[in-house]
Structures are given as structure tokens and as C-alpha cells.
A and B are shown apart, each in its own frame.
Chain A
């Protein structure tokens, strides 16, 4: 089959590789029909996650049709021919964490738990195509995908909806939803969302669906005007950080107290709020003295109202500097974060789609053949051609 392979930072290739086989008895093989490039794939692309090996297959937002199932796959839950989305995190459904709905914290699916224990104290779930820190599983930007523990991980989908309405359930739709839902949004809340990339777009819409009084979207209008426009179209108030002082504007909008809920949908590769911060984080990360550029975390904590909630769906990898713990503590903030527990949210979000509350396909700007993945990565990274979300077509 053909697959998108990580070779080095800024170097991915589409290669012919052997077809995946059933290895364990609860595995399934899925022939993919749509598979996306995620913003978090760019962290791998840019070399920010140090546990990639040349030859690793990328991709964690796939959907397709079950082609083969292992002998122990529960036939009541999954069979050949089922149309499925595959959550990016691999759960087991049986451990302490999965049983409590914390699927991305699964205790059993990371094949290299010692690594996670060294870096994080405890290892997290296996993820598809997301480095050896999360189990080293082959990813889904390919024609075929082997899904372990398939009867709990493959989520069966109806036949009458379009791929683009469903494939976002594998990651970014639940990710935006969890980021907003975790904050316990009240009708008089102002929710500020940093970053209008794909996850930010879903966060904005989910905050509205959950009844936020007002949603404010923040990004750089000189760099990504189309993303600010998409947020505006959803009904958000927009702050262009290129033109405006984010802190001043947020306080101005909220009667001087700051937003009740502040959400960082940017993550580790933020650009910095001023020149000093930009240079500081770039130098420190270049010297491997810092793993991420946590500029948005800093600003989110600064802007959030006293006693408010900070939510972080943006991905961070390691050990970062100058996090304003003083502000966090003295203002009494609550932090909500985590890799998304996708499985928990799929039924409810599918219902949202069915009821017409949201059409997740709104975010797709490009659908290209799998063979064009390398160019698509570059386009997505450089925000070219109005690119917001790329879906790869493995069959084209």
C-alpha cells in the first residue's frame, strides 16, 4: 500500500510499504476512505516531538471500511464491511482509565510505557502515528490501517452521511468539544479562544452549542485572515492580534474583569506576544533548554478573570519556561487539559451532526490525493492557498 512516511523534520514522503496484517486476535484492518492532516502533525513535521524514527507512518484522523477482523473481535460490535471512524487515541475499554471515560489515558495500549514514565511520570495511551512516546503505532495517512482492540476502537458510522461530516469525529471535533465542555460553560460566560486553526474552529462552535453568552476568537489577521473570517461566520467576536492588544481588548470587552473561560487552541509552536518573548522561546528551544514555545499559555493565564477556567487542548510536549504560576495561583484559576478522550464523545457528537446542529465538513478547505501529502503538509504549515483543513483521499 501507499503511506505517508516521516523521514526527518520537514521531510515526509509517500512510499510503497507492505500492507498491514492482523497481528493480535482483536485487530482489524480498515481500508481508508478519508484521512486528515492534523495541526498536531505539524509538530511532528517541524521536529518538535523528539521520539519520531525515520520510516514511521504518520496520520491519526482516519475513517474507512472494515476489510478484515481478527478471530477475537466481538462480532456484535464490529464486522467486515462496517463504515468506521478511528479515534486517534487507542483505548482498551477495560483498564481503570478507559472504564472511567479517560480513553487517552489508557493504561494498556502504549507499547513503550517506560519512555512515558521517564518523561511524564506515567505513560499515556497509544496513539496512531504520533511517535514512540505514544507507542509507535503506524498511522492512518495510508491506504490501510491496522486497528488494535478494534471492537472498542472502531466507531461504527451510519451510511447516509458524507465522509467529511464524519471524519472529524476521529480527533478535532471531539477535541474542540472536550476543551469547551470541561469548562462548565454558563449562559453569561465570555469564552475566549486563542488560535483559529481547525481545533479552534470546533472549539468556538462547541462553546456556542454549549450555551456560551459570547465567544471571542483570537488569531493573526495578517497571517490567516481566512481563519478569522471563518470564526466571524460562526458568530464569534474576532480579535486580530496583529492589529490589536489582546489583553486590553479582552478586558475592554468584559467590563475589565477578563474572560471567564480562556482556551489555548494553539499549543507548542506559538509565535510569542512580543519580540523579547519570541526570541527567548526560539533560542531556548533551539538549544533544547525548552521543549515548547508556551507563549499562549502565558497570555491565557494573564487574561483570564480571577477564579476563571483555563482550558488547554493545544498540544505541549515537555518542559517549558516562565509559566506564570504566581498569576495562576493568586487568581485562583482552574486548569482543564488533556489529550481528547475521543470515544467518550463520539455518540453525542454524531447526534449533533444528525440533528443538523453542526456540519463538521465546514472546516475542510482542501481534499487532495494521498500521493500529494508532502505538498499538502507544506501548504498547511505555511497557511498557503487559504488552507485550514486538508483531507487526503487514499483511493485517488
Chain B
């Protein structure tokens, strides 16, 4: 079993945010934190054969016309040919679609197309206390505002339900399992194969200098799905998932330090419409 382990990352060891890009040098490794990385093959074999055949036919037809319209038809044919011979479709890539590969583990999905987000924050409470609250996974929706609830199934497995989004009919949920559990120090989890959103997560609790409490460091990796789900993820996590994660961690800090999350939602305000003054 592969575990998400940051201990080999020299950047995180010295407290520097590591390069948000993912992917190994062999893969090119040039994808940004918010875009799926470029990859070679995302079109299934049958589709590729069809693309080659249709592309050849269109190219021949278009070139035979010797007109502007014909040239355009030939260009489409050329693109299909390219898609068929290389097995790579830019449109599929943009939509996050992959017909070439079957069911994978969360690690494989994330390694191929994942987004990685990492943040740290200091909390003026002991690590054991923070660990205990986090380990009770049903507490997570208190500060992770994209979650509706987390149902604990057994010691390892849990069922995560996301907040519903208007226009998205079915409940968005997935199963996850705990992959590492070191009391007072570390919790890691991953979604189970077949989940609508493939994701890995880890939180580390490290004693801060002096009596300052605990430095927590959270890493999340997930694969942004296409279509309506992609829309949901974009809306929930925003254009900058690191900021969203920081907001989550801030709420966690407030809950741990104060027992509540300061707010002014629901306080009175004026209208500036009345006649007085």
C-alpha cells in the first residue's frame, strides 16, 4: 500500500511550502497546481481506431475540394488523425475525461491528474487534544465547510457527504479509509477506489517551539472531476484551494482555542433609508 508521506520532502522538513507542482521529472512534471497535468494517452483503443479512419476519410475529402471549406474539413480530419495515432485528446484533457484507463486507486488517480494543496498553521493547544478532535472524523464538517457530514463506519472506514449545491441533484458522497494513525502525531486517509472524487489527505501534529502549542500541517491531494462535479469542486474549493484550506484550518484553530467560531452573521445593521439624521 502506498502512503502519502511527506517526510522525504526536504522543503516541508524545513517549513517551506514545497513546489505545488506534481508529477515526476520523467513525466515532464510541468503541470500547475490548478490544472491537470498533460499526459500522453487518454483515448481508448476502439475510439482511436475510429478516429484514424474518420480522420483519413475527412482529410481526403477536404483536400479533394481545393476550397476554403475543404481546407477546414481537411484540418478537422488531421486533428482526428492525430488523436487516433497519439491516443491523446486535448478536449478530453480539458474536460478531465479519460477513456483509456479503467478503475484506479486514489493514489494512482492523484499521481496522474491530481491537485496538491498544503498548508500549516500554529494552534495554541497541545497536539494530543488537536489529534483527538480531528480523529473523530464526524467533527470535520465543523470546520471543513464543503462537508455536510462524515459518518464513521468502523475503525478505518468512513462515509463522507459533501454539502449539496443547487442544481446538483444527487448527493455527492464517497467512502474513505484511514491509512495511517499515529496518536498525537499524524492521521492520513484516502478515498476508496470507485469514489466520485479521488482524494488523499494527511494531517501532521508537531510540537511548536517553546510553549507555543502545536504546528499542524495538512496536505490534501485530489483529482478534479469533469462536468457538474467539476463545477461543484470549483465552487466549493474556489479558484485558490490553498486559501480555502487556510480558511478551514483557521476555523479549526478557533474551535480548538475558543470553542466557537467568531462571526457577525446575523448581527443588526442599518438601512440608510430612514428619514432621521
Interface residues of A (CB under 8 A from B): 1, 3, 5-8, 11-21, 23-26, 54-57, 72, 90, 92, 94-96, 99, 107-111, 113-114, 126, 135-138, 146, 148-149, 371, 373-374
Contact = CB atoms under 8 A, between A and B. Distances in A.
Interface residues of B, number: 28
A96 B260 contact: no
Contact of B268 (A14, A57, A108): A57
Interface in B225-277: 243, 247, 250, 253-254, 257-272, 274, 276-277
A374 B268 contact: no
Nearest to A142: B268
Contacts of B247: 114
A374 B276 CA distance: 10
Contacts of A24: 260-263
Nearest to B261: A24
Contact of B269 (A8, A56, A90): A56
A26 B267 contact: no
B270 A149 contact: no
Interface of B: 122, 124, 212-213, 243, 247, 250, 253-254, 257-272, 274, 276-277
Contacts of B257: 92, 94-95, 108
B267 A15 contact: no
Contacts of B277: 5, 11-15, 373-374
Contact of A108 (B262, B264, B267, B269): B262
- Most interface-central of B122, B213, B257, B261 (chain A CB within 10 A): B257
A108 B253 contact: yes
A239 to B, nearest CB: 38
Contacts, number: 111
Nearest to B122: A96
Contacts of B270: 3, 5-7, 13, 15, 17, 54-57
A57 B271 CA distance: 10
Contact of B124 (A26, A99, A135): A99
Contacts of B212: 96
Given A14-B277, A55-B272, A374-B277, A137 B260 contact: no
Contacts of A109: 262
B263 A17 contact: no
Given A24-B260, A111-B263, A94 B274 contact: no
Contacts of A1: 268
Contacts of B258: 26, 92, 94, 108, 149
B274 A3 contact: no
Nearest to A26: B260
A17 B272 CA distance: 10
A170 B262 CA distance: 21
A57 B262 contact: no
A11 B265 CA distance: 25
A17 B264 contact: no
- Most interface-central of A1, A24, A110 (chain B CB within 10 A): A24
Contacts of A148: 262, 264
A54 B269 CA distance: 9
A94 B274 CA distance: 41
A110 B259 CA distance: 16
A15 B264 contact: no
A72 B258 CA distance: 11
A312 B47 CA distance: 72
Given A96-B124, A149-B258, A137 B274 contact: no
A228 to B, nearest CB: 32
Given A13-B272, A15-B276, A108-B254, A23 B124 contact: no
Contacts of A20: 267-268
Nearest to A152: B258
Contacts of B265: 23
Given A12-B277, A109-B262, 10 more contacts: A11-B277, A15-B276, A20-B267, A26-B258, A55-B270, A96-B212, A99-B124, A108-B262, A111-B263, A113-B250
